[in-house]
Each structure stands twice: as C-alpha cells, then as structure tokens.
Structure 1
Amino acid sequence: ARMAVQVAVLPSPRCLFDEPIQIRVTGLQPQQAVTLRARLLDESGELFQAHARYRAGSGGELDLARAPALGGSYSGVEPMGLLWSLRSEKPHKRLAKRNVLTPFCVDLEVYDGHGDMSRLLGKCTNERRFLGEGVKRISVREGRLKATLFLPPGSGPFPGLIDLYGSGGGLVEYRASLLASRGFVTLALAYMAFEDLPAMPAVLELSYFEAAVNFLRKQKQVKDTGIGVLGLSKGADLALSMATFLPGIKAAVSISGSGFNSFIPLQGDGFTIPPHPYDLGRIKYESGLADFRDILEDHRDPATWGCRIPLEKSSAKFLFLSGLDDTNWKSDLYCQDAVQRLQQHGREAEFYSYSGAGHLLEPPHFPLCQASLHKVLGMFVQWGGQWREHAKAQEDAWHRIQAFFWQHL
C-alpha cells in the first residue's frame, strides 16, 4: 500500500505569527504535479486564500524551502509564500488581528494536479499565535489612558516600549503582543477614534503621551534606563515628538513616517506645533481609491518649517524605515529630510528604505494590503507595495526594529 500523503509544518504546527515555518509534503508520487492552497478565515468571517503549483521530487517529497512554485499566487522558491500572498475574496480587505488572545489558523491543503483543486490529497493546520507562552495581557484605563500592557513572563527587568499605530485610530495590539513575546514590556496606546477618544481630535496633547511614558516607567518589570517608542504613519511622527519633548525616551522608530507634525496640532507645555499644511482638494482618485501623495505642501518650503519636529534637540537614537512604493504619502522623502537634519547637527540616524515596499510595513507574514478602508476618513485609501518585495521588507524591518531596541535599551 502506498504511503498516505502527509503535510507537515516544522518545527511545529503551533508558532508565533512572526515565526517562519517549513512546509513539507511526503507520500506523493515521484514528480507528481500538485497544487498547495492556504486558507485563513479572519475574525469578521472574511476568507483569505493563496495557492501555488508545485512538482514533487523523485522520492515523492516536496519541501517549500527548496522547491520552486511553478505559478499561482507567486512563483519561485518562497518558503513563506503561501502566507504572504494570502488575499481576500472581497477586494481591499486588510488582514489584521483584533483579539490577540486567539490564534489565526491557516489550513494548508494539497490537491492533485495543476487544475481545479477537486481532489484533496492531504491537509494540516498551522496555528499562528500572537501571544507567547506566559505573556500577560493587561487592559489599562488609568486616568485618561486607554492602552493595553503586555508583560513577558518572568520578573525581568525588560526594556519597555510604547507602540503607536496610525490615524485609523483604535487600540491596535498585535504588534505589541508580538514584541512582548520577544522580550519587551510593550504598551499599545490608543490616541484617537477609540472609546471616548474623538475620531478626529482638534488637538493632540503631549501630556497624554507623557502619562503613558510615566505609566510604563513605573512598572517594576521595566528597566529604569529609559524606554523606546515606535510608531507607524501618524504614530511615527508622534514617536519622534515624544522622543524630542519627553524625558526618559532613549530610542524611537519611525515606520512610514515624517519629520514634521502631520494632520493634527500637537499641544505641548506652552507651545503648539501646527500640522504641516495640506489640501484635501489635491487627492487623486484612481478607480475609487484615494491617493494622498500630492496633498501636502512641499516640505522643503521654509514656510512649512514651523511644523517640523525639532528632533535634533533630542538625545534619543532614531531608526527610520520606509517603503519606496508607499502610495499613501512620500514617506521616503520625508524620512530622508529628517535624517539630513539630524546629520547636519552631527547626529547619527539609522535609515532603511525598501524598494517595492508600501506604506503598511507590518510584522512579518502579514500579507500586503495595497488599499483598504480608512475608518476615520471613511474612504478607500491606497497604500502601495509589490507582494514579494513588501514581504521581504517586513521581515527585514522586524529584525532591525528588535535589534535597534536591544542595542539602545
């Protein structure tokens, strides 16, 4: 009797979402043509799928780390291709995790032939978690603060991080929970469009972010040598402002950000930084999707310089990450400008830009989202990115972010 077809996920079918896996199939016929399919149902019931055509080796085995895909959602040797090429049935859906206490389950199936996927040969499930063994999730509603604290197991002390997402608002936890699973005490912080925080605040107060820093620094598991902050998009310029105006911040990471205050005035103690001037009339629409790249006034125009964040005054270390295919805004130019300002003041900054990467640089293996609904603006917005390049960029950026914080905290 011929061996049954088995699909194995190594080293284990259960892992953290940011961990790479090896997918192996055994028990096939020599040189057998097969199609592999991945399916993931998100928390709203939206189905994300990917498939790729392969040919088994002479021993009836197939290892995705070695065998090239012959077409489908991707081609070539891509060990994680079935994950990063997942896309939804409905267009413009972004895969995001709302409840980090439950995993995403990815069904991996092997079908006979390169045709219609009618004969299933074998399958298994890869359980991809967002919370490492022993990581605690603690909801924080202290004073005005709306946040979630993630504590790695043990007494530490661990480096402390504050994690900020963009102008879509809400309380986004999945990046923070993964960072805590990697040994950082991480506070995911909401600052707009959440509970009683307004969707479009007239002003953001620095004192709110200062309260978050103070809350994190007083946790006994947090190293007392200073904390780190990371932000995406609008969260990135807030991270830079925090590192500039608040004591106790030693390292800041800007992802797809800018060196100026964007969209909402930032009110400090006795000063306000206005938002960089913009004109929504300059939005371009391409098949119903908004392209914001031209809405901001030229950042090189001295008339806009009052909106700059004076990060050269900060003693923090900076890491800037951006995608060259960001179609949301010109993050690469804006980051270059910030880095040049730091260098003119004799300060170093790390700066990486990724060709083919879009605006939404997420933890690894999240599939590219080229456009989705911006909840606050109520319109579909372009983010940009090419599938394979974006996936590689996310993997590289994730390692750089962690290495940077370990080095400076």
Structure 2
Amino acid sequence: MVKNMGLNWRLWSLHKHNHLLVKAAVSILLMGLAFRLLFVHSTVPETPFVEKPVIPNPPVSEDVPEIRDPIPEEVVAEKCDLFTGDWIPNPSGPVYTNESCQLIETHQNCMKNGRPDSAYLYWRWSPRDCELPQFDAYRFLELMRNKAWALIGDSITRNHVQSLLCILSKVEQPDHVYHDKGYKSRRWVFPSYNFTISVLWSPFLVQAAIFEDMNGVSTSEAELHLDQLDKKWVDQYQNLNYMIISTGKWFLKDTIYYENGTVVGCHSCSNKNLTKLGFKFAYQKALSFVFNFIVTSKHKGMILFRTATPDHFESGEWFSGGVCPKTAPVKEGEIEFKDLHGILRNIELEEFAKAEKKAQENGVNLKLLDVSKISLLRPDGHPGPYRFFHPFANDKNATVQNDCLHWCLPGPIDSWNDVIMEMVVNG
C-alpha cells in the first residue's frame, strides 16, 4: 500500500513538473513575441518618412469626388474616354511655379499679380474610364527629337503654349528663336533635342483683317475671307510633325464676310446695309473649308483639332463688369455651356465628325482634342481681376476688368498636356 502510494506520488510530481515546464516554455514564447513586436514598432523604418507639402487653402472635402474602384485592365483596353471625368485633389501641386518658369505672360501670371488664394493649383484631371499619367517631360522630349510642333489659333493657344513650355523647361530651357512684330507668332527650340515648338497666331484659321488693340477693343469690323486659308499656318503645314489647331470665340465678333473677293454678308453689323448671315453661317463654312484642306492634304503627321473653351463670366461679360469669383472646381451637372458656346460646340462636333471619316479614308491622322467639358468644370482657374498687377493695392474696392476666359499659369490648362501626351503616345 505504501509502495503504491509512493509510486503515485512520484508520477504526480513528474506530471506537475512537466506541466510547469510547458507553462514556462509558453510564457517565454509569449514574452519573446511581445518583445519582437515592441522592437519592430520602435525601430526606424528602412524608407525615411517624407513630410507632405503644406497646401495653402486645400480643397474642401465636399468638392472631392467619390473615390472610385480601380479600373479593370480589360475595361481600359476597350474604352478610354479621356474627356469624361472629374477634377480630383492633387496634393503634389503643379510641376512648375511662376518663379521657376520665366515664360508666363503678365496677364496669366496670377500669383505674381497677387491672387490671394491658391487651392486652384492642387487639382488634376482624372478620366473615369482609365488612368491618366502625369505629363512626362523627359519622355516627351526624347520622343520629339528632330520634330516640329505648332499650336495654331488665338490667345487661348498662346496661353496653352506657355503651359507646355513651362513644363518642358523643367528639363531644358528653350531658346527663343523667332517672333513676329507683335509677339503673337513665336518659335522656340530645345537645342539638346532639336525640337521646335511654334505658336502661330491665326484666330479665324481663314484669312482675316483685324482692327483691334491688345485689350480686344475694335475700331472696325473684322473682314473675313471664308474661302481663303490663313497663309501663316498653311505655308508651314507640310513641315510640321504635330499640330494643335483651334478657333472659336472670334467668330462672335462684329465681322464682314467675303467670298471670291466680294462681300456676301456680315455678323453684328446693324449700321451697314448688308445681309445679316450670322456667326453660325461663318463658323460652319470656315471649319468645313479648314477640314477639307486637312483631310485631302496627305499629311503624314498628327493633327489635333482642339475644341473651343468656355468662359465663366458672371453678372456680365468682359466689357460689362463680368466677374469669376469661384475658388474651386464644380462637378458635372452643376454648370452648363452658355448658349453661344453650345452653338459653337455643336458646329465643331458636326464638322469634325464629317472630316474624321474622310481623314480615315485618306490616311490622315486627325484627332479630336475635346477640352471643352474639362474646362467647363474649372470656373476657378481664370485670372479674374489678377490679369493686372496687384489690382487692389491702392483701393480694395477698385473696379477692375476681369479675365474669365484665359487661364492662370500654373493652372487647369496644364492638365491639357497630360491628355495630349496620352493621345500622342498611346493613340
């Protein structure tokens, strides 16, 4: 009996001892794990933390579109509408500033002119059906070695060429090699790449005599020859590898129309005994003539037709006290094209559709650069009163003519270049 009890005691003691060993092992394991976790979280990560830039007046949350799910690759391959999308926050801001780029004309240099808000700088265009990479200046210049570009049109075209030059100047400063008497047509060369960019002043694209000053004040009606193309761009046409051609609002000006050297009518010329044909007649006729030249030209480069951009004047027009006080983008559906711009746009799309079919048949690479909707959603991107240098410095209630048509630089127009590069590189 005693012998059995001793055996049982030794077995129980051994069992207890083993149990204690197991508990001790588990405890050591848990302590090691806890120490490891503590060590990992207390050490400096391999990649240093980079502080995000401080954004003055950042976009407010109610203006931020919903975060969209990633776009499946098969959808992107089948459908990529670059011109339908949203303006989304871009914390990194523009790739250049008014200080880093010396190519910005005074009237578009909003920051230098004292514009007090800066949130308009921190947005980028994001199509809904595909990812749009940021413009790659290095790659663009490499692709454009020994090539020539021209942007052809009016003052919005001059506005755009400054944006493109400012982005490219982060890689190399261009040499200014030509300008006309009024500095409206100009040319630059990037010497390391033998790459040329020109801006050609041709606001109607057809031959025109214009009588107005730098502020747009006319002394007489423009004289427009609807059956003659403007030689300023036609004479260079075949020597250009890429072109962006545009026109638009100039057709709303007081104009007398000619065909075969004879007056056939006019627009907004009530003091003259002429047939009132209207701007729709002239715009359709001029675009048809321009497109017919392009699609039958056998040109081997790429030609982009840029649609006209809307203005955002409120409470009047540029000549009657109109202003553009918005400081953030708007969403689709919150703003509509004005009636006159809607008419211009419909004519553009109709004439382009007819030309596109003929271009494909003739092997001419003609594409539509439809920036109208992209621009419509940015009423905050204009100089407004800051087309002038510190307009309220002496009188905070001063009456100042606003510019709600052109674009601040940097500004929304920079995103046009993202779209253009995608069209040029990936078609």
Is the pair's TM-score, using the shorter chain for normalization, greater than 0.5? Answer: no
Q: TM-score, normalised by structure 2?
A: 0.37
Tell me which protein shows more helix as a share of its residues.
Answer: 2
> Which protein is bigger by CA-based radius of gyration?
2
